[in-house]
Amino acid sequence: MSAATGGPALPQERRLVTEIPGPASQARLEQKKAHVADGVGTVLPVFVTAAGGGVLVDVDGNSLIDLGSGIAVTTVGNAAPEVTRRVHEQVDAFTHTCFMVTPYDGYVEVCATLAELTPGDHAKKSALFNSGAEAVENAVKIARVATGRDAVGVFDHGYHGRTNLTMAMTSKNMPYKHGFGPFAGEVYRAPMSYPFRDGLSGAEAAARAVDVLDKQVGADNLACVVVEPIQGEGGFVVPADGFLPAVAEWCRERGVLFVADEIQSGFCRTGDWFACDHEGVVPDLVTTAKGMAGGLPLAGVTGRADLMDSVHVGGLGGTYGGNPVACAAALGAIEEMRTHDLVSRAAAIGDLIGRRLAELRERHPVVGDVRGRGAMQAIELTAPGTIEPDAARAAAVSAYCHRQGVVTLTCGTWGNVFRFLPPLAISDALLEEAFDVVAEAFDATA
Ligand code: PLZ
């Protein structure tokens, strides 16, 4: 049977003792069907009892290799030692006061750490929230007050959340927006740099994007431009070199705030602390969440102190924002990142994955593009030699991996991108085994 506790001590192995999902998970799925709204889907319906390092263990006693990290959250590994130690200590001391009522140290320490780690060495301040979507909403609130302008620029294929404003900012209709309108106004979408599909240089793609913003919105009306430096849900789209710096420069010259949504790409994931670091781009505001707190819900907006302070007292907050247990988890996760040099580990994982994906591309012409950075890599599947999306193949490959005990995710506007987001605590041996399964999946579905 499965282990009772998770963390790195869990046997680091792929072990299948039943079909996936097994009978115990199947029984629970019926309970889910009876009690959980159908709108809440699941990618791989095994019910988890423990997780750690690079594996998830389910109620049937199967041990699966994790290439998803709960969508880029358990970057430091599931139930990482420094996270669980600090969380235990904090829950025993107190669980909540509401920082807006009576403050505590953890919140301030997380904000001080965010100022240290996020791009740029200017004076910075932060505010903490519960989810990525909430952080993005608050970044827009701050940008509007700081600039006195209304409009928000976003990009094709962008994903920013499921709340009303962030749905408006998100590009893809199904499943995120369909039927949920009307959406918040004053959101304008510009073309993204997508080298595989547009063939443009970074400078050319930036010129195309700012032309749309300039002509259709007008820089004087724009509070901010919000961009994922590597797009997540939209397909792990890595903009061509020079795109981000050029857009940031255009913003700076016109008093438009450049907001980097680093919710998926931040905290070591790409082989830098933040994806913006790769090109030395310094955003005015940065949104963070996911990997920051090792699995507990925490999000932040960090930015230039003058901008952050433009909001009136009481204008930012929320009952649970910066909950003490979540802050303790974040401080533990960041300590794990520092002591294990997870920036370098992400880069090394990137080399391994890059090698395996290059092999796949050699053998399978359906692999149209291989892209990503560090431990955020993907392949885009298309009809050979074209950019015609092949979502069916991506779904078939992913389903094969699931049956073989490897947790994989897809993404992309057309659903044809197969993405990899392993925890950085995974071993090379497990990664190689997982990519053996991925290779088999391509052979078996050819
Ligand atoms: N910005 C860049 O990746 C969350 C969404 C999964 P929340 N991405 C995973 C799903 O289907 O809901 C995300 C992101 C970027 C914002 C968000 C939103 O973060 O914590 O899910 O609100």
Domain regions of the chain by residue span: 23-76+341-444, 82-339
Query: Distance between CA 410 and CA 160 in Å, rounded?
Result: 17
The topology under which CATH files domain 82-339 is Aspartate Aminotransferase; domain 2 (3.40.640)
Range 23-76+341-444: architecture per CATH: Alpha-Beta Complex (3.90)
Ligand 1 contacts CB of residue 161 (under 6 A): yes
Residues 6+ apart with CB under 8 A from 348: none
Ligand 1 contacts CB of residue 403 (under 6 A): no
Question: Side chain identity at 211, as an amino acid letter?
Answer: D
Ligand 1 contacts CB of residue 136 (under 6 A): yes
Tell me the CA–centroid distance for residue 300 and ligand 1, in Å.
Answer: 13
Tell me the CA–centroid distance for residue 159 and ligand 1, in Å.
Answer: 7
Nearest partner of 233 among 407, 71, 103, 45, judged by Cα:
71
Tokens of 96: 């909540």
Tens-binned pLDDT, residue by residue, of the chain (446 aa): 334 589 999 999 999 999 999 999 999 999 999 999 999 999 999 999 999 999 999 999 999 999 999 999 999 999 999 999 999 999 999 999 999 999 999 999 999 999 999 999 999 999 999 999 999 999 999 999 999 999 999 999 999 999 999 999 999 999 999 999 999 999 999 999 999 999 999 999 999 999 999 999 999 999 999 999 999 999 999 999 999 999 999 999 999 999 999 999 999 999 999 999 999 999 999 999 999 999 999 999 999 999 999 999 999 999 999 999 999 999 999 999 999 999 999 999 999 999 999 999 999 999 999 999 999 999 999 999 999 999 999 999 999 999 999 999 999 999 999 999 999 999 999 999 999 999 999 999 99
Residues 6+ apart with CB under 8 A from 290: 71, 72, 73, 75, 132, 263, 264, 266, 267
Query: Distance between CA 122 and CA 128 in Å, rounded?
Result: 19
Asked if residue 401 lies in contact with residue 441, where contact means CB atoms within 8 angstroms, the answer is yes
